A = this chain, B = another copy of it.
């Protein structure tokens, strides 16, 4: 705690110094550590449930086709369920599966009392309507938080499933006790999956909200000006290393949501994972920053697991 205060006062002084003339002590917001803490707590909750003779929460995951990134995400979700004692069911459908078959599969899971959460891995093949698929998932099992009912309740401040990535970011802010009240958060990106829900969460009235929030996007002509105002900068536009040092206010907190595979012949897999922030040049300016990989990505799974537990608990309350 003492160390954190030292960092704060140093940065306060730093703000009145000219840009780039100093290096600010900076904290890495480590997704591995923060997600592990969430998972340990979940594991202990499951152990208690099972000790009481109850069944553990159960997540069903549907994957359509065999997109490389989707395969990785789905495998990780199943593995994480196992680690904390959740049950999971993985359902694989061919890339050319008719939409009606997918919808029927979802209905079956909706009606199965042994399934608490349902997740259909996106993106889906072009012949399938994503909104239709999302609306078919029962709102009570919508652990991805993409159903209109979940989104509407999020906006209205009612109990709901928060989309996994924004939820993961909030869990990270909570883990590192990052104060947000009254700060100016600038969000680059207005997607339904990240930018939009983040803008709602950070500007709403709760412990890690109450920010003034600015939403920037592809039609923002003077993006750099807005970024330079940010006490908290959330980069969620999906352009590798887009945010450079000249766009960041000294002392800012930077949350990097980007995960892009960039071809790299020197890497064993032929690609490297890059975030939306040019980490090496930006990090020294910040008070705190999430790395990529090892930052927000790991928190997404923590958010999903929390939602699955919540769906389970809602059934019995």
Which A residues have a C-beta under 8 Å from some C-beta of B?
A: 131, 147-153, 155-158, 181-182, 190, 192, 196, 199-200, 203-205, 210-217, 219-221, 226
Note all chain B residues with C-beta closer than 8 A to A216.
212
Partner of A212 from the list B149, B151, B220 (CB cut-off 8 Å) is: B220
**Stoichiometry, copies per complex:** 2
Minimum Cβ distance to chain B for residue A179 (Å) = 12
A182 engages B221 (CB within 8 Å)? yes
Instruction: Give A151 to B158 CA distance when docked, in angstroms.
Output: 12
B220 engages A182 (CB within 8 Å)? yes
Note all chain B residues with C-beta closer than 8 A to A131.
156, 158
Minimum Cβ distance to chain B for residue A124 (Å) = 16
The 4 closest A-B pairs by CB, nearest first: A148-B152, A152-B152, A151-B152, A210-B219
Instruction: Give A215 to B221 CA distance when docked, in angstroms.
Output: 18
Minimum Cβ distance to chain B for residue A285 (Å) = 22
Minimum Cβ distance to chain B for residue A160 (Å) = 8
Minimum Cβ distance to chain B for residue A226 (Å) = 7
Question: What residue in chain B is nearest A221 (Cβ atoms)?
Answer: B182
Instruction: Give A210 to B151 CA distance when docked, in angstroms.
Output: 21
Instruction: Give A147 to B131 CA distance when docked, in angstroms.
Output: 18
A214 engages B217 (CB within 8 Å)? no
